[in-house]
Structures are given as C-alpha cells and as structure tokens.
C-alpha cells in the first residue's frame, strides 16, 4: 500500500479534501491536479488548465489510480449557454486531457479510474425508484452526466478498470446543499421548496468518502454505483429533519415552484426535480452504511 499512488482531480473540493486526508491516513501517496499550487505539504500538486488544454504530463508518473472529481459547481451560477458548456467541458475535457497523456506514455502504471458522476443522470422522475439500469432523460442535467460518464469510459480503451459513482446530495456543514438549506431554518424562516414532495437522494460525507476508499482498496468491484443512502427523503422531510435537529419551528408556507423558476430559471430543476434513487447495488456489493437514515446523519453532522 505504501507504494500505491493516487492522483486526484478536484482534490480540494467537497469530497476531495476529506478523501485526500483519509487516503493519507491509510498510508497512500496522494497527488493532486489543480489550477493553482497546493497548500498541503503532504500532497504534490501538478498544474493544469483544462480550458487551454494544458497539463503537466509528469502528473501520471508512478500513479496506480486516478480519482476524477473535477467539475465546475452545478448550482454556483445561473445556467447560461456559456455556463452549460463549462459545466460539461470541466468534467469531460479534463479526463480527456489525462487520457491523452496515457496515449503518449505507453509505460505508465495507471490501472484504474474512479470517477464521480451524479444522480442528475436520472433527472426528474417523480416517485419512480431508480437503479443503475434506469435510463437517463434528455434534459440538461441528464445529458451532462451522460457525456461525463462517456468521457470517463474512454479509459476502457486504455485497458483501465472504471468505477463511477452517481453521487447524490452530500450532507456536510463544509459546503454543498446543507448549509444553504439549514441557514433559513436557523433564522426561523425555513420552509420546503415547491410542493416539498420531490425526493432528495442524500448521502453523509463519511459514507461518500468511505465508498471511494473501498473502491481504491479493491473491496468494491469496478462498476457504476449510486452513491446515495438507502432511505431517500422528500424535500419537506429533509427540511423537517434539519429543523428538529436544530430545534427550530417551521411555520412558513412552502416556496412556490413558480417563484423558484423565476429566480433560478432552468437551474430550478436541481431543487424541484424528484430523484428517488436505490442504494441496493452497492449494498449487494458489500458496502455497509455508517448512516442509512436522515435523523442519524444529521445528528452526527450537527451534534
């Protein structure tokens, strides 16, 4: 294991940061590919600029496993035509850059790629239970994820094994969806969005990191998995669970869907879409969840 060397794209992000620390703690050697020099003295950072097609080719020297987490934030900015292109390119062109280096360096040691994807692959499906065999839709969220996964799958032509995690809403106070959801609750103005019945495929940050660790360790067979807890909740149930944990009342009416569409435009589908996702496949593969229900997950996060 001491010789096992992992290269992470997006290594300073929501999953990347705790995953880096967890890998280092287990004795793995970790390097990052980043747009700017790294601050962690334990991690060597190689520079790249995906938009310009520039990458430090020495980044794959001695690497066994590549973990691909890079990608512009889906809800960081309004979805203009230019923004949508960036959302797709930051996920697809980035991994293509790495595969181009593998093409040029026949003696590389890379054996596998473990990549993020998202439950946005399935998009808005109401109450339908979705597993890894469920087909995608044709809207932007689905299309973005399909292009992302297809770009990662190009690694099969290099003889690499591929694992893809269709990631749900990661619960942590360090970023993501939970802080903006809990902030209004803390100030007594929390409420559900739209009709509140839309399903949210959530996962505790610890389980997300552990799944990556198990994939790196070889305990999870290479495949596509839904990275979600076994018990999805609706938007209303999640808001109520946060309010209970923070001991705050909920008294306002729901935020109407039309208001969200007005403010967010097409991006409103991220909060109004319902994606009820099954975790059965990863459980069948032997993964045991640390947090499988929302109350325990939030108790740990806020406790």
Each residue's pLDDT tens digit, 254-268: 888 878 787 778 877
Hey, how many other C-beta atoms are within 10 angstroms of the C-beta on 111? Answer: 13
Percent of the chain with pLDDT over 70: 99
How many structural domains is the chain composed of? 1
CATH number (domain holding residue 56): 3.40.50.720
Each residue's pLDDT tens digit, 18-39: 999 999 999 999 999 999 998 8
Q: At what angle do helices 81-104 and 140-153 cross, to 10 degrees?
A: 10
Residues in the chain, total: 303
Write down the pLDDT at residue 81.
95
- Residue with the larger pLDDT of the pair 260 and 125: 125
Q: What is the pTM of this model?
A: 0.95
Q: At what angle do helices 16-25 and 205-217 cross, to 10 degrees?
A: 50
Question: CA 187, CA 198: separation in Å to the nearest integer?
Answer: 24
The DSSP bridge pattern shows strands 129-130 and 276-277 to be: parallel
How does the average pLDDT of the chain come out, rounded? 94
Q: CA 74, 78, 79, 84 torsion: positive or negative?
A: negative
Residue with tokens 């080719």: 57
Report H helices in the chain.
16-25, 81-104, 140-153, 178-186, 205-217, 235-246, 257-264, 269-272, 280-284, 294-302
Look up the domain containing 154 and give its range: 5-302
């Amino acid at each position: 294991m001491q010789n096992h060397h992992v290269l992470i794209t997006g290594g300073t992000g929501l999953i990347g940061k705790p995953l880096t620390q967890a890998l280092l703690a287990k004795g793995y050697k970790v390097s990052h590919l980043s747009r700017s020099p790294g601050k962690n003295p334990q991690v060597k950072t190689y520079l790249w600029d995906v938009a310009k097609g520039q990458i430090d080719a020495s980044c794959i020297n001695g690497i066994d496993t590549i973990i691909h987490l890079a990608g512009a934030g889906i809800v960081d900015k309004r979805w203009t035509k230019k923004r949508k292109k960036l959302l797709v390119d930051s996920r697809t062109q980035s991994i293509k850059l790495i595969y181009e280096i593998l093409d040029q360096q026949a003696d590389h040691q890379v054996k596998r790629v473990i990549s993020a994807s998202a439950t946005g692959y399935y998009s808005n499906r109401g109450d339908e239970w979705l597993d890894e065999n469920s087909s995608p839709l044709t809207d932007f969220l689905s299309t973005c994820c399909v292009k992302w996964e297809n770009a990662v799958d190009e690694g099969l032509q290099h003889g690499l094994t591929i694992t893809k995690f269709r990631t749900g809403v990661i619960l942590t106070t360090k970023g993501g969806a939970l802080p903006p959801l809990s902030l209004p609750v803390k100030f007594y103005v929390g409420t559900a969005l739209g009709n509140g019945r839309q399903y949210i495929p959530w996962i505790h940050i610890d389980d997300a990191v552990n799944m990556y660790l198990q994939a790196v360790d070889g305990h999870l067979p290479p495949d596509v998995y839904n990275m979600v807890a076994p018990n999805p909740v609706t938007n209303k149930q999640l808001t109520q669970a946060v309010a209970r944990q923070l001991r705050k009342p909920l008294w306002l009416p729901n935020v109407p869907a039309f208001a969200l569409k007005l403010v967010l435009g097409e991006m409103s589908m991220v909060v109004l879409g319902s994606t009820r996702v099954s975790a059965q496949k990863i459980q069948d593969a032997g993964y045991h969840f640390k947090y499988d229900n929302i109350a325990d997950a939030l108790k740990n996060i806020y406790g």
